[in-house]
């Protein structure tokens, strides 16, 4: 399951950062995931929390906001919200598009003690 590996990777990054900061405990993690990733933020958070058991992030919440993505069609210059990684323009049907902004998943803040 992709959500499980993402939850584990977010945990790895968070724990590394917490160690760099000399933190005793991770309380919360905030970030975002692009809607084009077609993954449920709640599922990633569930797996993050499961993998965090027995670590300094045990009990920490992972809050991922769903971020919408905008694309521009290279053929007709129309702007639209793609439904997935295939950038299918609803105006002309072209698959030649450019994503405007960021995609993927990002951790923006880590709350530690």
Q: Which domains can be identified in the chain, with CATH numbers? A: 1-68+102-112 (3.30.2320.50)
Tell me if 27 is assigned to a ligand binding site. no
Segment 59-96, tens digit of pLDDT: 999 999 999 999 999 999 999 999 877 899 999 999 99
Tell me if 79 is assigned to a ligand binding site. no
Residue-level pLDDT at 38: 87
Q: In what order do the strands lie in the sheet with 61-67?
A: 61-67, 26-34, 105-112
Residue-level pLDDT at 84: 78
Gap between the Cα atoms of 53 and 77, Å rounded: 48
**Is residue 1 scored above 70 in pLDDT?**
no
- The alpha helices in the chain, defined as continuous H runs, are 2-21, 41-52
Tell me if 2 is assigned to a ligand binding site. yes
Residue-level pLDDT at 66: 94
Tell me if 76 is assigned to a ligand binding site. yes
Segment 9-39, tens digit of pLDDT: 999 999 999 999 999 999 999 999 999 888 9
CA-based nearest residue to 111, from 16, 7, 14: 14
């Amino acid at each position: 399951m992709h959500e499980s590996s993402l939850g584990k990777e977010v945990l790895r990054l968070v724990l590394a950062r917490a160690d760099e900061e000399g933190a005793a405990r991770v309380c919360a993690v905030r970030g975002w995931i692009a809607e084009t990733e077609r993954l449920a933020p709640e599922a990633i958070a569930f797996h993050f929390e499961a993998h965090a058991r027995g670590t300094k992030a045990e009990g920490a919440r992972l809050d991922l906001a769903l971020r919408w993505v905008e694309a521009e069609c290279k053929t007709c210059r129309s702007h639209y919200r793609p439904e997935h990684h295939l950038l299918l323009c609803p105006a002309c049907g072209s698959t030649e598009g450019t994503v405007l902004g960021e995609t993927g998943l990002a951790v923006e803040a880590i709350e530690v003690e």
